[in-house]
Amino acid sequence: MSAQTSRAANDSLAPNDLEAWWLPFTANRSFKQRPRMIARAKGMYYYTPDGREVIDGAAGLWCCNAGHNRDEITQAIQAQAQELDYSPAFQFGHAGGFALASRLAQLAPGDLNHVFFCNSGSEAVDTALKVALAYWNVKGQGSKTRLIGRERGYHGVGFGGISVGGIVKNRQFFGTLLAGVDHLPHTYNREQQAFSRGEPEWGAHLADELERIVALHDASTIAAVIVEPMAGSTGVLAAPKGYLKRLREICDKHGILLIFDEVITGFGRLGTAFAAERYGVIPDMITFAKGVNSGTVPMGGVMVRQGLYDTFMKGPEHMIELFHGYTYSGHPLACAAALAAQDIYRDEKLFERAKTLEPVWADAIHSLKGLPNVLDIRTIGLVGAIDLASRPDAVGARAFEAMDRGFQEQGIMMRITGDTIALSPPLVITENQIGEIVEKLTKVIKAVA
């Protein structure tokens, strides 16, 4: 029976009708021939419809930091839904949003004291870029409109994010994007950094490329620089030692805002609440999403420094200060989930746990060195990447096969980008489960040799 016949015969789609959903960032035709279906999750594991256990080596999409289906979070969501299902954030507020904003402001370093909520990392980035442009307008420096990203950077899929981002496939099909954007060079050099643990020793000097960009365009035209402290989606590229501090110094010198995209690194991934804390650098804004409520309800946001916020708080008090926002900004269910997740992070000391496990994780993942086609391995915090040699006739095919075989045959979920395998397990992972991941990866890498 065809999909069309099935729909004509029954108002609801048949459970095995895979045609209607156009999956994002997915090879849809391949998937629908050999589906990788998930039915439920608990703790460190997903389960397939037939009950097979799959260890989550990716925290979903870098987001389920507290593990799956935590009772505390699901109960908080249920209770909130029964009390207040939705509240508009335009001209109205609710207690959960203010409580969460206060918690996050306490967690953030320095004077990042104010939170603007949205619903995803992509929206968080576009929000931060708009705040940067509006800030300079309010200050009477409207010529500062240029935005600086970085090659191989990933900042979501909004037009602002793909403009400052530097991943080719995310950009090439969508026209000219935002005007007036430039890019720093990426920080990866295999010859200098191969098999690095933590921050590479080589590469801090690459921050000085910002001076070249300033000389080219003049600081009077540049609004902000946005970088990931660890570029995750491109294959786990940690900032070299001293790199981010140097960027901060150059931005301060020329009066340029510095934005850290911490959608992946936020909430313990690198062993601290935010990577800014690990690196001892206070940016002007931090974008977050994913781990804020362990991936349970869509949520993102931007944390803003005190002085930046204060700049907007002028003029008639009845006037809107920033003409920006979303229907679901600070959604009550998302806030309830986030407050419960923050309690788990605090009570179980999951950020500290990630820091303690970092060397154990690094030793385990680097033990894969020497397996067939392994060209490089990088680890930092509870993140790892394994670069596999591409097949001569099909770049990306080897890692794709590894991802598929891993799920179907070995019971492991992983992320891939090109021929790189990326790993970022929930922060609740045990040493035994780290060993389980390495054992399964060993079999997968040998199978795709």
**β-pair type (222-227, 146-150):** parallel
**Per residue, what are the HEC states of 123-159?**
HHHHHHHHHHHHHHHHCCCCCCCEEEEECCCCCCCCH
For 290, the 3-state DSSP assignment is: helix
- At residue 2 the predicted structure's pLDDT band, cuts being 50, 70 and 90, is low
Q: What is the largest CA-CA distance in the chain?
A: 68
* pLDDT surpassing 90 at residue 307: yes
In the chain, CATH 3.90.1150.10 covers 28-69+349-448
Q: Does domain 73-348 have CATH number 3.40.640.10?
A: yes
- Cα 343 to the center of its chain, rounded Å: 21
Please count the helices (runs of H) and the strands (runs of E) in the chain.
Answer: 17, 17
Report, as an integer, the average pLDDT of 98-126.
98
Residue-wise pLDDT for 26-52, tens only, equals 999 999 999 999 999 999 999 999 999
| Dihedral (Cα; 41, 42, 47, 51), 10-degree rounding | -130
Query: Which of 402, 415, 406, 412 is closest to 437 using CA atoms?
Result: 412
Q: Could you report the per-residue pLDDT of 140-183, keeping only the tens digit for each?
A: 999 999 999 999 999 999 999 999 999 999 999 999 999 999 99
Beta-bridged to residue 53, according to DSSP, are 47
Q: Cβ atoms within 10 A of the Cβ of 317, count?
A: 7
Q: pLDDT averaged over the chain? A: 96
- Answer yes or no: are the C-beta atoms of 297 and 334 closer than 8 Å: yes
- Closest-CA residue to 390 (of 267, 235, 243, 227): 235
State the pLDDT at residue 7: 52
Residue 37 has φ and ψ, to the nearest 5°, of: -95, 140
How far apart, in whole angstroms, are the C-alpha atoms of residue 166 and residue 50?
40
CATH 3.40.640.10 domain position(s) in the chain? 73-348
Q: Among the CATH numbers 3.40.50.1000, 3.90.1150.10, 3.40.47.10, 3.90.550.40, which is that of 28-69+349-448?
A: 3.90.1150.10
- Give 441's contacts (C-beta < 8 A, 6+ positions apart): 57, 368, 386, 406, 412, 414, 421
Predicted local confidence at residue 16, as pLDDT: 64
Distance CA 118, CA 328 (A): 7
Burial class (CB in 10 A: 0-12, 13-18, 19+), 381: buried
> In 3-state terms, what secondary structure has residue 252?
helix
pLDDT beyond 70 at 4: no
Of the CA atoms within 13 Å of residue 435, those in its CB half-sphere come to: 3
pLDDT tens digits, residue range 181-237?
999 999 999 999 999 999 999 999 999 999 999 999 999 999 999 999 999 999 999
Return the SS3 of 378: strand
Q: Where do runs of H (alpha helix) occur along 348-430? A: 350-366, 397-405
What is the value of pTM for the model shown? 0.96
With CA atoms as reference, report the closest residue to 428 among 273, 268, 296.
268
Closest CA to 446 of 411, 401, 380: 401
pLDDT > 50? residue 98: yes
Q: Is the pLDDT of residue 12 over 90?
A: no
CB distance 230 to 278 below 8 Å: no
